[in-house]
Amino acid sequence: PVRAQPGEPWKISSISSSLRAIIRLRRQYRVQKKSRLHLELPREKSSELVHARVLQRQLSLNRASLFETSQYFTFDTSVEQYAMKKCRRKKNRRKSRIVLYPDKTKRYLPTEEKSKAKRCLLLLIVIIFFQILNAIENLDDNLQKYDLDGLEKTMHREVFGQKVAVESIMELLKDYLATHIHNKPLVISLNGPTGVGKSHVGWLLAKHFLSVMDNDFVLQYFVMHHCPNGVAPLTCETDLSKKISDMVTRAEMEEKIPLFILDEVELMSPVLLDTLSRFFEPNQTNEFLNAIYILISNIGGGEITKFVIQNASAELLHQQRGGEELLSIIQPVLIDAHPLWKSADIIPFVLLEKSHVINCFLEEMRREGLYPDQKHIENLASQLSYYTTGGKQYSKMGCKQVVAKVNLLYLGCLG
Ligand SMILES: Nc1ncnc2c1ncn2[C@@H]1O[C@H](COP(=O)(O)OP(=O)(O)OP(=O)(O)O)[C@@H](O)[C@H]1O
């Protein structure tokens, strides 16, 4: 290097010559360094690589041990980052897997569209559900309106020896009165021998429906009374038709179901029966479809008496099966009498046993304010005539004579 002599001032030329010397020296040093690196590289590089790998491994071991042994909360995110990286790497590996699709299919999942049909179906289900709920409530309302539970209790309490008949009547009434919309009127025919309680049931029904319906929607028609001998059949026909038409029209306005109880039907003229049968047909206006007819007659009574005596020893009579069998016997007899019975539900009333007659006596005497002892009543019951068969006694006249006997007793007491 060219130095300035002491005391001599610095010259620009001397500075530039020394700079150039420095640059030259640096270049030479670099060239030498490069050539040395080229010569030593293979050996040094491998050792450096080994060193780097050892370091890397140590680092990963430290991380792994840290990850496994970390038990305490730490702000050191290196562990999580490591775990996330690992996870991402796995995902990437999974993504990179090649999926082979068949040639003709779509290579993507179809986009899920919101189905209108599904929504409609759901709405429909909800509507149906509410309609069912509403219908159930309406059924209950109707049954409560006519207090059929109360009627059932009364019938079981006050009608003796006709369990199957009472159950069948109640079932028909419950079914029919559950709704106000019908496609035909309900026609129930009570048939059986004399004094077994057919008219008695008619009275109980009339009393009950008169009490549950505010207005007068019950008609009790007794042929001997409303259409006595000597009155022209046409007059009776017009009169009955008018009575029925008036009542169904009034009842329809109040959404009520009228009850027509026709007693002594066996005494009705064929003309009157024809008239009646027209009201039972299904092809009429609504008001005529919403009505209940109870036909009471002793037609088929002979067949019922025979059946009861023949099956006295069997328990069949007080079972539903017995009622069905009896029905199959008397139905053809009734249809033969008049085709109107084709539209009727027939309820056979069976003969009453002596125990039932005793109950009739008890009930009638209580009604008259008499309270005799059991022996006295049995004595009275024994004065009636019975069919004795299969170890049982069946009253020939049912409880028919009970009222007359009690009346005599009552008069005797008064006397
Ligand atoms: N099963 C019964 N349970 C309670 N009481 C009865 C029964 N059967 C008859 N009675 C009593 O006997 C009386 C006469 O019976 P009811 O008039 O009901 O007989 P019926 O079957 O209609 O006979 P008929 O066909 O002769 O008219 C009734 O008023 C009632 O008091």
CA 147 / ligand 1 centre spacing (Å): 24
Q: Which numbered atom of ligand 1 lies nearest the CA of 200?
A: 18
- Give the pLDDT confidence of 342-372 residue by residue, as tens digits: 999 999 999 999 999 999 999 988 888 877 7
pLDDT confidence bin for 47, thresholds 50/70/90: low
CA 173 / ligand 1 centre spacing (Å): 21
In the chain, domain spans: 136-351, 352-415
Percent of the chain scored above 70 by pLDDT? Answer: 72
- Give the pLDDT confidence of 262-299 residue by residue, as tens digits: 999 999 989 899 999 999 999 889 899 999 999 999 99
Nearest CA to ligand 1 atom 6: 197
ipTM score of complex: 0.98
394: three-class secondary structure by DSSP: strand
Mutate to test the pocket of ligand 1, among 160, 200, 207 (most ligand atoms within 8 A of CB): 200
Contact 169, 155 (CB under 8 A): yes
pLDDT confidence bin for 55, thresholds 50/70/90: low
Which residues approach ligand 1 with their CB closer than 6 A? 159-162, 192, 194-200, 298, 352, 360, 398-400, 402-403
CA 399 / ligand 1 centre spacing (Å): 6
Mutate to test the pocket of ligand 1, among 201, 362, 399, 406 (most ligand atoms within 8 A of CB): 399
Higher pLDDT, 225 or 138: 225
Confidence (pLDDT) at 60: 57
- Give the pLDDT confidence of 164-204 residue by residue, as tens digits: 899 999 999 999 998 888 999 999 999 999 999 999 999 99
Residue type, 188: I
- Give the pLDDT confidence of 137-148 residue by residue, as tens digits: 666 667 778 899
Confidence (pLDDT) at 366: 86
CA dist 23 to 11, 305, 407, Å? 19, 147, 157
Average pLDDT, the chain: 81
Could you give the CA distance from residue 243 to residue 221 in angstroms, rounded to a whole number? 10
Q: Which residues pair with 349 in a beta bridge?
A: none
Most confidently predicted of 96-110, 182-196, 393-407: 182-196
pLDDT confidence bin for 6, thresholds 50/70/90: very low
Confidence (pLDDT) at 134: 74
User: What is the topology classification, in CATH, of domain 136-351?
Assistant: Rossmann fold (3.40.50)
Nearest CA to ligand 1 atom 26: 194
Residue type, 179: T
CA 230 / ligand 1 centre spacing (Å): 28
| CA-wise closest residue to 82 among 105, 100, 66 | 66
